[in-house]
Structure 1
């Protein structure tokens, strides 16, 4: 993001910070908030700034593709895991991947890193800060800020139990008699956990698990602590800040405790501080909630730079399993173009499962049931959440994407690889920045042994690989791993060379029947157009090129197959799960 010089930049920063604090801490006096604003500016080392970051500026382009991975998914004897990850990126993904999201690499006690016990350390089994800096010097680096909760084994929570020291007042304490009936939960465990402390029994708030204790941001010391964390990560090369589970941040008894105004205002405050410190840095909010609520985290291009496109994975999976694009198209037509300065973060697989809350109000219950039954038949699991009426509802599907797409609702078939690649061809072509999960880049299978070992359904898609064994598999074109990896790298390489695939390039949904899911992209310079045509069914599809209204003075060719289309009135047969990127520029 560019910036402009201003003699009043420091005044502007102070003014913005104070405005946000007045909304978050409305009951605090002006003098206290002025002091807090000064402290935050000092923590970020922004006492003297000479420029004001420009808004509505896109600091990304079509070349940006982020690989999502755990820092210890790859192992080789005698080397730190992050060193091996760096080796993989250079030896296997050179020129293909330019960003990497290293999932929580901190010491932790549960949830594969998302129950952080120390925010200022790198887990010894993964590496050290030098490894993080090395990655950041060569790739755009995304790190999690696990901002809603931390481990019950953390030093902060141990001080809470003792009643003294840093962190002793960082955690949200509630009364079991409070009216908590409206609180939205993503889990079925009890919300409150009774803890014996030096000051008696306290009931701490645990949105996710009893090992993950929620912070109390009513305490301004908690806000200051996380601003320190952000500054520390910036100093170590982090460029993209993923705010984990941020939608649950602010609590008010008697409310849903989800997406409250103070939560949004804290995100806006962090954006101001981060942009003044590093104009090219970004915030991405992780809010696995219904689509309309998720979109609210864009604000007016003054909140998150990116939001996860959470509805895409379940809707695309449903389309490919049923051969029907109706719900996918309906949703896509309802999605507003991201303003300049914001972008969608597209993904179809991640370290977590395929969330089902984002399709509430989009996919009917009977279609969700059809989807979950098929996933269980393919070896997957279903995680549940508790409703306020005591009923449990499917929350997410736990399965690898490759196994999820090994058939249709009619059962397994021989078109799994084609279906899997079609899913990624769609995702890579959509408006937004693509995130490709490491296990999907390889075509990983369900890891049932790891589920049995950890007791967590999510472990099914978190396989650990021996580096040399993996490289051997990837080099074998007879294995599905080799086929998938080679094809995925080719898809990404083609994608990153097209101006029409800029994350903010124009997108329109096409109406070509149920079998063909199509959309049109046009570059910001309006020179390149790409018609993205995808047969989402297991039957051949027929397309009349005249239905696309192609400009006859342009030469049209498929970027994926190389086929040239001279007769714009011809009939084209599209094979099952074939994708065509029909472009007027090669």
Structure 2
């Protein structure tokens, strides 16, 4: 539904432009997305009648500042709105300093990313954080500055331009729920400025905080229990969901919305194409709830996305919402918000299920969890990963576990024991993160290679286990690359880098063992990436083969969903992707033993003669398909069979 601007807004737009083409472009986009903007704002800020005019002034200013090459990218993306859904989209996630020292260093290593096939680069938090402890950079002190040790905003813009020339989209974190205690807004609030005190949730005594606490969970029970902190200078209890130095923002204040709309456009004009909306689920507070996933969050996101669509349509949003599947789909748009909120979201179950099946050698729980996972809108995409910067929380639902004859609590306990290496026969080397005695929750830190058994195999000089550990890691990446959406490769996994077991030598990291899987890039190992006799070479070449196969396979466009095919073998996962070129059937052996699969699921999909897209080999399964340990196949109809059809 198009939105015709009111006469006052129309006159404001006309007065701001001398060039008729720029005027027409802005006005057409405003007419297209104005209703989405208006509806989002009115749902949250019905008593702020001047907000639209104030916002429009910010948008027009940003439109004037937007460079010619970025406006050209806007036009390209409008003609190809599925650009982020295509099968050639490969993501890479890293910390700029740990990858290459500085932003200039990252720019020097762009050829490495090009060689790997990367089209999307997520640089972990690099906006200026508070000094000292800063939650890995998520305590932002200034959204308009870069960490001084990395460079400055000009370096960021230069890097974005270099990436753009290589067809790589830059993704940055935008922390929405909170700012650092040292942020200018918080400093002014602490000094007593009434305007900025309204940017936060401040309470004179414990009456309301204690009422809220009745239904609030604890995110970091070990080192940040509770959700409120006393601030002596502000003489208030401050809402601090994550850490005492991270002040939650009051999104009920329209001025906060206006600040972030301006920040998004400012960063978009420096070349940021993908915003990872950090801690988005926590933005809205409502007494008597867990203050997560409230409906206002989706209205706010819709309005912010409309702002970006009008000024910088090359930009997409990715929701960092680690919530239950039934809640997750709202971040991609359901009901009135369908297709109007985030374009991307993390498939937060897939990673957990991969590691669960590798430990149990059984895919039935994974099969169940994926089969009941609700489908996303066809215009959106999942972000999937084997590992990420964060810990692994064992998000195994009791209902899913019960459906396959497991105890949810028992299986979660098994996984924590297995991946911390205490379960008999475990191949893993991980660390327990945030043990909560009240709930029994134990999350796990560790690099992909160490969790997959490489660290243990090297310690024991066991050649067979070394081979199997790499096969496990390649199997996990095959599942992620073959699922559709955007596979996100975590820095170092392509070289099978191990745990950084000396992380505690750095005082600022000592209290957070997630730094065990945030090593510095080992460029000596990277130099051996084509040496098939080395562990890094075997991993890199295997991953490169998977990436090349994915890019050559149209079936992996994100508009298509992966669907579970019931497997006759509990060790073998089957996922199908229907496509006009014929169905693709992915076959994955989650066991270190050879498995055999009755070929009926293949025959039913016309795969009596098939081509494995990974190896290029032709497969004629007959009655039974033999699967080597940790085998992975992406099977499509053979070319001659397609011709006959």
Partner in structure 1 of residue 552 of structure 2? 497
Seen in structure 2, the aligned counterparts of structure 1 residues 210 and 557 have a Cα distance that, compared at 3 Å, is: same
1:478-557 superposed matches below 5 A: 478-512=533-567, 513-523=569-579, 526-549=580-603, 555-557=609-611
Match of 2:178 among 149, 153, 164: 149
- Helix, strand or coil: the match of 1:430? coil
1:400-415 superposed matches below 5 A: 400-406=447-453, 413-414=465-466, 415=468
How far apart, in 2, do the equivalents of 1:367 and 1:132 lie? 44
Match of 1:370 among 414, 422, 432: 414
Seen in structure 2, the aligned counterparts of structure 1 residues 108 and 358 have a Cα distance that, compared at 3 Å, is: farther
Q: Which runs of 5+ in 2 are unaligned?
A: 1-23, 65-70, 402-407, 422-427, 640-645
Taking only aligned residues, the RMSD between alpha carbons, in angstroms, comes to 3.0
1:481 to partner: Cα distance: 1.8
1:217 correspondence with 2:264: no
1:164 to partner: Cα distance: 3.1
How far apart, in 2, do the equivalents of 1:559 and 1:19 lie? 46
CA deviations on 1:223-276 (whole Å, 9 max, x unpaired) are 111111101111011111110011000112332211111111111111111122
1:251 correspondence with 2:285: yes
CA deviations on 1:328-367 (whole Å, 9 max, x unpaired) are 1111111233222211111121111113347464341111
Seen in structure 2, the aligned counterparts of structure 1 residues 172 and 358 have a Cα distance that, compared at 3 Å, is: farther
Match of 1:280 among 307, 314, 330: 314
1:251-400 superposed matches below 5 A: 251-299=285-333, 300-357=338-395, 359=397, 361-363=399-401, 364-377=408-421, 378-384=428-434, 391-394=438-441, 396-400=443-447
How far apart, in 1, do the equivalents of 2:38 and 2:374 lie? 31
Number of aligned residues: 564
Q: Is the 8 A contact 1:384 1:392 kept in 2?
A: no
1:131-150 superposed matches below 5 A: 131-136=155-160, 137=164, 138=166, 139-150=168-179
- Helix, strand or coil: the match of 1:229? helix
How far apart, in 2, do the equivalents of 1:22 and 1:447 lie? 49
Partner in structure 2 of residue 64 of structure 1? 89
Partner in structure 2 of residue 460 of structure 1? 516
Seen in structure 2, the aligned counterparts of structure 1 residues 572 and 105 have a Cα distance that, compared at 3 Å, is: same
Seen in structure 2, the aligned counterparts of structure 1 residues 46 and 54 have a Cα distance that, compared at 3 Å, is: farther
Seen in structure 2, the aligned counterparts of structure 1 residues 530 and 135 have a Cα distance that, compared at 3 Å, is: farther
1:9 to partner: Cα distance: 4.7
Partner in structure 2 of residue 584 of structure 1? 637
Seen in structure 2, the aligned counterparts of structure 1 residues 267 and 356 have a Cα distance that, compared at 3 Å, is: farther
Seen in structure 2, the aligned counterparts of structure 1 residues 16 and 563 have a Cα distance that, compared at 3 Å, is: closer
CA deviations on 1:463-494 (whole Å, 9 max, x unpaired) are 11353x24334354333222212211221121
Partner in structure 2 of residue 117 of structure 1? 141
Partner in structure 2 of residue 130 of structure 1? 154
CA deviations on 1:95-131 (whole Å, 9 max, x unpaired) are 6111101111112131121111111011121223333
Q: Is the 8 A contact 1:156 1:167 kept in 2?
A: yes
Q: Is the 8 A contact 1:183 1:258 kept in 2?
A: no
Seen in structure 2, the aligned counterparts of structure 1 residues 55 and 170 have a Cα distance that, compared at 3 Å, is: farther
How far apart, in 1, do the equivalents of 2:399 and 2:606 lie? 41
Q: Is the 8 A contact 1:321 1:407 kept in 2?
A: no
CA deviations on 1:78-108 (whole Å, 9 max, x unpaired) are xx52232233331354261111011111121
Partner in structure 2 of residue 423 of structure 1? 476
Partner in structure 2 of residue 230 of structure 1? 264
How far apart, in 1, do the equivalents of 2:219 and 2:618 lie? 50
Seen in structure 2, the aligned counterparts of structure 1 residues 585 and 505 have a Cα distance that, compared at 3 Å, is: farther
Q: Is the 8 A contact 1:176 1:203 kept in 2?
A: yes
TM-score (normalizing by structure 1): 0.89
How far apart, in 2, do the equivalents of 1:236 and 1:204 lie? 33
Seen in structure 2, the aligned counterparts of structure 1 residues 342 and 358 have a Cα distance that, compared at 3 Å, is: farther
| Higher relative strand content | 1
How far apart, in 2, do the equivalents of 1:255 and 1:46 lie? 39
How far apart, in 2, do the equivalents of 1:158 and 1:47 lie? 27
Seen in structure 2, the aligned counterparts of structure 1 residues 408 and 368 have a Cα distance that, compared at 3 Å, is: farther
1:93-112 superposed matches below 5 A: 93-94=114-115, 96-109=117-130, 110-112=134-136
1:457 to partner: Cα distance: 1.3
1:563 correspondence with 2:617: yes
